[in-house]
A = this chain, B = another copy of it.
Amino acid sequence: MFSINTYTKRRHRLKSKLNTGIALFMGNVDASMNYTNNTYHFRQDSTFLYFFGLDYPGLAGLIDFESGEEILFGDDFTIDDIIWMGPQPTLKQNAAKAGISQTHPFAKLKDIIGKALLQGRKIHFTPPYRGKNIIVLSELLNILPAQVKNQASLPLINACIALRSIKEPCEIEEMERHMQTAYRMHTTAMKMAQPGITEQEITGIVEGISMSGGGMVSFPVICSVRGETLHNHYHGNTLKLGDLLLLDAGSESPLHYATDHTRTSPVGGMFTQKQKEIYQIVFDANNKALAASRPGITYKEVHLLAARTIASGLKDLGLMRGDVDEAVAAGAHALFMPHGLGHMIGLDVHDMEDYGDTLVGYDEETPRSTQFGLAALRLGRRLEPNFVVTNEPGIYFIPALIDQWKAKGKHTAYINYDKLESYKTFGGIRLEDDILITETGNRILGERIPINPEDVEHMVKSGA
């Protein structure tokens, strides 16, 4: 259970990692859509949420690593605000929920940071990603907006990564509880995967289930019969028999922990023979990666195991050839799976990506590769108990990439470009689960969303 203690303990642990300077945690403000007062759903900054837990706009937190002081900055609502918005907690009440007694009006931040700068003290902050916070930081620090990001604090970033990588029992509980919303989103979409419906209609319902379940989608929904387009946010197609519907969608829990799953369903409920063969390879890769994930192994090794499973399966189909280990070492399989096996997940769907994904997913022991495909792997380092990671192998037939590689004569020893021609309209399949690394191995969080090809077919048919 989350409590005041959750947040005081986290700040206490952070203080044990840094000894000098001041950390400034900028909460988010409302993000404007088309004019100032017309805003998107409020999303608090994840670092601020982690250390303060306060899900309101217009706040900032400060920790002085030398004096030990903790201060919350914000402004109380006026009586007029309360008339329009209903009763609102005061700044003091909010601060108390985070275990903080010292509060100041937001404008006071300028004085306090200004004084600290005059004293030559270091101001630690994580890299901002929203324009309005970049502007506030540029004004507080007296530097140009373009200089702000470069001055983010590596020691603070590293300390945050160390803490947030290991999920606490209350975090795992929150994440697992919310998996039922993910289950509902994906099984509902499977049932809707019938000829004649549009991607947009399914996307809308999936987003609605997320909202009904307590929070907004954790990232822009990918709902497409063109699953080979990895970052596809076009939803204008109408489903037809023979299509594969790829849905990569997640939801934020009430406390803003993310889910992230992908399923690929045959429109109308029957895989073709060709689809079944490719699906089975991806399913095998997912299961092998799952079986291998445990403390002590690097996720890079798990990624390469999934890659070998895919290369081996494609060799059996005659699409690849030669020695599987050599093909994977050369990166030939990346024509079919150009992305990584997975990433950390937590308060962010790509957890802590605002800190920089190489800092989050790699370390001195396991540096990031520059090879096409492997370079896209977000998490490579050694797994530890209470990491939560995604396991998402896929096989795609990307016409533009196939044409590019073929023209360059890339990896002809391992790829049968002739046979590939007949797969160029196939599309793509990805299968993604969220898994918790335990002391001895791992487990899937929540009830596993139907993934056996027969179960998926059955689920789609049940919606017809």
Q: What is the interface of chain A, defined by CB distance below 8 A to chain B?
A: 31-41, 43, 45-46, 79, 82-87, 129-135, 138-139, 145-146, 200-201, 203-214, 219-220, 226, 229-232, 234, 338, 347-350, 353-354, 398, 400-401, 404
Contacts and interface: CB of A to CB of B under 8 A. Distances in A.
Nearest to A212: B204
Contacts of A206: 208
A84 B231 contact: yes
Contact of A40 (B40, B131, B210, B401): B40
Chain B CB within 10 A, most for which of A33, A83, A135: A33
Contacts of A232: 85-86
- Copies of this chain per assembly: 2
Contact of A139 (B83, B84, B146, B226): B146
A354 B34 contact: yes
Contact of A207 (B34, B201, B211, B219): B211
A436 B39 CA distance: 26
A349 B40 contact: no
Contact of A208 (B208, B338, B354, B404): B208
Contacts of A234: 86
Contacts of A129: 32, 34-36
Contact of A83 (B34, B41, B46, B401): B401
B34 A400 contact: no
Given A138-B145, A207-B208, A37 B353 contact: yes
B207 A203 contact: no
Contacts of A43: 33-34
Contacts of A32: 31, 129-130
Nearest to A131: B131
A130 B38 CA distance: 11
A34 B38 contact: no
A43 B99 CA distance: 38
Contacts of A205: 208, 212
A83 B398 contact: yes
A79 B404 contact: yes
A204 B211 contact: yes
A145 B140 CA distance: 13
20 contacts: A31-B32, A34-B43, A34-B45, A35-B353, A36-B353, A38-B219, A38-B220, A38-B350, A41-B220, A79-B400, A83-B398, A83-B404, A86-B226, A86-B232, A135-B146, A139-B145, A139-B146, A145-B145, A200-B212, A205-B212
Contacts of A134: 131, 135
Given A36-B129, A135-B146, 15 more contacts: A34-B129, A34-B347, A34-B348, A34-B354, A35-B46, A35-B354, A36-B353, A79-B400, A83-B398, A85-B229, A130-B131, A200-B214, A204-B208, A204-B210, A205-B208
Chain B CB within 10 A, most for which of A35, A214, A348, A354: A35
Contacts of A84: 229-231
Nearest to A398: B83
Contacts of A201: 212
A163 to B, nearest CB: 17
Given A131-B132, A138-B145, A400 B83 contact: yes
A31 B133 CA distance: 13
A229 B79 CA distance: 13
A464 B297 CA distance: 55
Chain B CB within 10 A, most for which of A34, A138, A232: A34
Contacts of A200: 211-212, 214
A37 B348 CA distance: 11
Given A204-B208, A349-B38, A400 B82 contact: yes
B35 A31 contact: no
A204 B214 CA distance: 9
Contacts of A135: 131, 134-135, 145-146
A151 to B, nearest CB: 16
A385 to B, nearest CB: 25
A50 to B, nearest CB: 11
A220 B145 contact: no
A83 B211 contact: no
Chain B CB within 10 A, most for which of A130, A210, A347: A130
Contacts of A226: 86
A207 B207 CA distance: 8
